[in-house]
Amino acid sequence: MGVVGPNTMVQRIAFIIDSYTGPWAGTERQLWYLLQHLDRERFEPHLVILRHADYSRNTQAWPCPVHVLELGSLASIKGMLGFFRLVTLLKHIDARIVHAYFQDASMIGPLAAKLAGARFVAGRRDMGIWYTRANLRVLRLFAPLVDAVIANSKAVREQVAIKEGVSSARIAVIYNGLDAGSSAGNVASLDDVIPANAPVIGIVANLHHVKRHADLIRAFRRVVEAVPEAHLVLVGQGELESELRQLAAAEGVSGQTHFLGRVEQPVGVIRRFTVAALCSASEGLSNALMECLREGKPAVCSNVGGNPELVTDGVNGYLYPVGDEAELADQLVRLLQDDTLRSTMGEAAASAMAGMTLDAMVNAHMDFYASLLEGKKMPLAESQSLYSSLREYRGKIGKS
């Protein structure tokens, strides 16, 4: 372990993830930020990938040392041998903390960390869409070996405490951070496909069932009845694209519905949105929603997971019950038709995101790791600087 000063030692942290598909998806992006920006005079990160994906196999641009185990199924002999390779690797790295992301890393991480003499931190970033009865049995079995959990919203913290049996006192909340640089580096636009003055409803989310894009397309048909010049833009890729295109045609809105696919830096597109939408059935804390709010776009969101921690109903957007297409359409129409309301909510949206920065997220993690290693009480959400702008913003409007 490298020594920085006479009384300071660099602490090594092993970040374990099932696979790494690229720094575009929410979890992978936040992890990349951490790997890049942890203070190297305090922490030395190592990334442990259980199984290769195309991105991890081909890229050379890693911000830290990377170790790939090519672990088999956990229930196989290859998987068992891979577990022991993981323990050996953690000992070789001399990891003081093991921070795990995703399903398999969370299942094998606690025991591997303890056998290697490290503290174990479970990362939780969704509302448990990967939970099964078998998974939960394993998670509850190893819960006593979990030193701490980092959740990315209070809703996720509550879910972990209930489902996994981890005491709330061991679950810290650190919101995602937004990269200020991304807001300046993207010039993508919709000028070639949408008239300059046309109102645009936009959603940034991969085309998966849990995101419920079909609700938005059906609601959009109702919107067009009230605002005929409106357009709908879907940013993201996924297995449902063909099905959703057919739905747009069946609803008679295909000419005003635009599928952009994956956009690595969608800020330029978001800036053309008039109103943002997010219709998910489950959501931990949406990076895409945060980016829309930061750009001053009021949002209409399903009232699930971490969405109400970002959107205060009637202030910087609206919340609606999942699947209520009529309410979704009504709220979108209200925003599209009222310029003053939209402008006021847009200002509130940008204000709410003022403290949700990359630096704040990284600093909160470093404070957390230091507290864990020193055996101090973990800082929870309310004590993190990352929350200052939200507290201040909600204080101004008299809501909590």
At 22 the pLDDT is 82
Contacts of 247 (CB under 8 A, 6+ apart): 214, 217, 218
CATH superfamily placement of domain 3-178+357-392: Glycogen Phosphorylase B; (3.40.50.2000)
Cα gap 384→379, rounded to integer Å: 7
Residue 225: exposed, middle, or buried by beta-carbon count in 10 A (0-12, 13-18, 19+)? exposed
Return the H-helix or E-strand segment holding 283: none
What CATH number was assigned to the domain covering residues 181-352?
A: 3.40.50.2000
Count CA atoms closer than 13 A to 16's CA, side-chain side: 28
What's the pLDDT at 110? 96
- Does pLDDT of 383 surpass 80? no
- What backbone torsions phi and psi does residue 397 show, to the nearest 5 degrees? -95, 0
| Bridge partners for 44 per DSSP | 12
Mean pLDDT of 53-72: 88
The residue ranges of every structural domain in the chain are 3-178+357-392, 181-352
- The pLDDT of 50-60, averaged and rounded, is 87
Q: How far apart are CA 86 and CA 102, in angstroms?
A: 16
DSSP secondary structure, 220-231, as one string: HHHHHHH-TT-E
Mean pLDDT for 153-171 is: 93
Question: pLDDT, tens digit, for every residue of 254-302?
Answer: 999 999 998 878 888 999 999 999 999 999 999 999 999 999 999 999 9
* 107-148 confidence digits (pLDDT tens): 999 999 999 999 999 999 999 888 999 999 999 999 999 999
Is residue 155 scored above 70 in pLDDT?
yes
pLDDT at residue 158, as a whole number: 94
**Two tokens, residue 154:** 């209070």
The pLDDT, as a whole number, for residue 382 is 44
Torsion angle (degrees, nearest 10) of CA 293, 295, 299, 301: -50
> Cβ-count burial of 263 within 10 angstroms (0-12 exposed, 13-18 middle, 19+ buried)?
middle
Residue 347 structure tokens: 């200002």
Is 43 strand, coil or helix? strand
Average pLDDT on 94-101 reads 97
pTM of the model: 0.87
Query: pLDDT-based confidence at 73, cuts 50/70/90?
Result: confident
In three-state secondary structure terms, 395 is: helix
Asked if the domains 3-178+357-392 and 181-352 are classified in one and the same CATH topology, the answer is yes
How far apart CA 124 and CA 153 sit, in angstroms, is 9
Measured on CA atoms in the order 259, 261, 267, 268, is the torsion positive or negative?
negative
In single-letter form, the type of residue at position 338 comes to D
For the stretch 209-254, pLDDT in tens is 999 999 999 999 999 999 999 999 999 999 999 999 999 999 999 9
Confidence bin at 88 (pLDDT 50/70/90): very high
Residues 6 or more apart whose Cβ sits within 8 Å of residue 24: 262, 264
According to DSSP, the residues that pair with 236 across neighbouring strands are: 261
DSSP for residue 378:
P
User: Which one-letter DSSP state was computed for residue 236?
Assistant: B
| Whole-angstrom distance, CA of residue 332 vs CA of residue 223 | 7
Banded pLDDT at 58 (limits 50, 70, 90): confident
Where helices occur in the chain by DSSP H, the ranges are 26-37, 54-58, 77-93, 103-115, 133-142, 154-164, 213-226, 241-250, 267-270, 287-294, 307-310, 325-337, 339-352, 358-374, 388-397
pLDDT tens digit sequence for 348-358: 999 999 888 88
Residue 367 has pLDDT above 70, yes or no: yes
Higher pLDDT pick, 399 / 359: 359
